[in-house]
Amino acid sequence: MFKETYTVIGVMSGTSLDGIDLARINFTIKNEKWSYEILESETVSYSNDWLNKLKVAVGFSSEELTKLNEDYTDYLGNVINSFIAKYKISNLDAVCSHGHTILHQPQNGFTLQIGNLPKIAKIINQKVVCDFRVQDVRLGGQGAPLVPIGDRILFSEYDYCLNLGGFSNVSFESNNKRIAFDISPVNTVLNFYANKLGLDYDDKGKISSSGKVNLELLNELNALDYYKKAFPKSLGFEFVKEIVLPLIENYSISIDDKMHTFTEHIAYQTSIALPIKSGKILITGGGAYNDFLIERMQFHLPNIEIIIPDNKTLEFKEALIFALLGVLKLRNEINVLSSVTGAKMDHSSGNIY
């Protein structure tokens, strides 16, 4: 007999590298309907040392990756322990951790999220559910996006759920199937250029808004092969490093203009990605704070009602949903949808340590 309530910690580190999100969450299931409450939550920023390592790790050798995985698992365990101690948290059902994606090459049958080694359970002395993507790739799927099942279970009142993080991804119902895919890079590119100006990010899109569109660059970006592919499809940092940034760097224009043009590209690709251009869209992730990006999305989608939720849901939605994926794994229930990832079947993914 399954429980009706679960208390877990969700842990997420995204490709935008803004830090490790942690949130203690209470889940309740009654009459097959899930509800949640986000309790204590915080984002632990990366030190410069960790930032630099994670930025360049895509080019590491297998030996360097093995060491990085060991070190990051130790580091992540200590971050989780500090969070538990700070808020005096006890009686947890599990810690549900995504880890941090370093390599994502589903076309080669490979994805790597560091911080998911079995020793993490010993470090934090808790049951851990983690490593949610690998099994899906083994089953022929993209290993991403995994958030859509959480969108279906927790946010069904919205026509679309859009996350604006390192990359943007959308999920929605179509013919009683959940459809989801990565749309385009977002903060992986915008933060790269903000960093060149000595900033962590472009506050509210002020820098981007001060630039102007370079139509030639915009057209080249919009013509990239990825946007012509049918879903399921997903993006990794390799796409940004090998294709997007070299393309932008071909243009001798100001950083403001590069950021303005890329913001327009994100907004345009979002509008193209939505099959029905009306209804309600829930927007979460760091990009929801980028007023200029939201303004450009509204311009391209005049008949869509854009809803940005309370700060906790906005900032910790991915930690919330990976917490839910962990609970579903504990119940041995489906937590990955083949309609989204392209795997051979729906399945219950993740490791329990």
On whether both 93 and 176 belong to a single domain, the answer is: no
On whether both 193 and 304 belong to a single domain, the answer is: yes
**Hey, is 82 helix, strand or coil?**
helix
Q: Phi/psi of residue 248, each to 5°?
A: -65, -40
On whether both 228 and 107 belong to a single domain, the answer is: no
Instruction: Specify the range with the lowest mean pLDDT, choosing from 105-109, 170-174, 255-259.
Output: 105-109
- Report the CATH number at residue 50: 3.30.420.40
**How far from 230 is each of 74, 180, 183, 226, 340, CA to CA, in Å?**
39, 11, 11, 9, 12
Please name the helix (run of DSSP H) or strand (run of DSSP E) that holds residue 169, with its range, or none: strand 167-174
pLDDT value at residue 1: 64
On whether both 184 and 122 belong to a single domain, the answer is: no
Instruction: Give the number of C-alpha atoms closer than 13 A to the C-alpha of residue 191, restricted to the C-beta side.
Output: 20
On whether both 104 and 224 belong to a single domain, the answer is: no
| Burial call 89-119: b when 16+ CB within 10 Å, e when fewer | beebbbbbbbbbbbbbebeeeebbbbbbbee
Q: Is residue 172 very low, low, confident or very high in pLDDT (cuts 50, 70, 90)?
A: very high
pLDDT value at residue 240: 96
Q: Residue 18: pLDDT above 90?
A: no
Question: In the predicted model, what is the mean pLDDT of residues 233-239?
Answer: 89
On whether both 282 and 342 belong to a single domain, the answer is: no
On whether both 333 and 240 belong to a single domain, the answer is: no
Q: What is the pLDDT of residues 63-93, one digit of tens each?
A: 999 999 999 999 999 999 999 999 999 999 9
Question: In the predicted model, what is the mean pLDDT of residues 315-334?
Answer: 96
What sign does the dihedral 259-261-265-271 (CA atoms) show?
A: positive
On whether both 304 and 181 belong to a single domain, the answer is: yes
On whether both 123 and 170 belong to a single domain, the answer is: no
Percent of the chain at pLDDT > 70 equals 100
On whether both 87 and 222 belong to a single domain, the answer is: no
On whether both 211 and 307 belong to a single domain, the answer is: yes
Tally of domains within the chain: 2
User: What is the rounded CA–CA span in Å between residue 171 and residue 283?
Assistant: 11
Question: In the predicted model, what is the mean pLDDT of residues 184-197?
Answer: 97
Question: In the predicted model, what is the mean pLDDT of residues 85-114?
Answer: 95
On whether both 225 and 77 belong to a single domain, the answer is: no
pLDDT value at residue 197: 97
Question: In the predicted model, what is the mean pLDDT of residues 182-205?
Answer: 96
Domain that holds residue 270: 148-312
pLDDT value at residue 232: 84
Residue 334 Rama label (left phi>0; alpha psi -120 to 50; beta): beta
Please name the helix (run of DSSP H) or strand (run of DSSP E) that holds residue 325, with its range, or none: helix 311-330
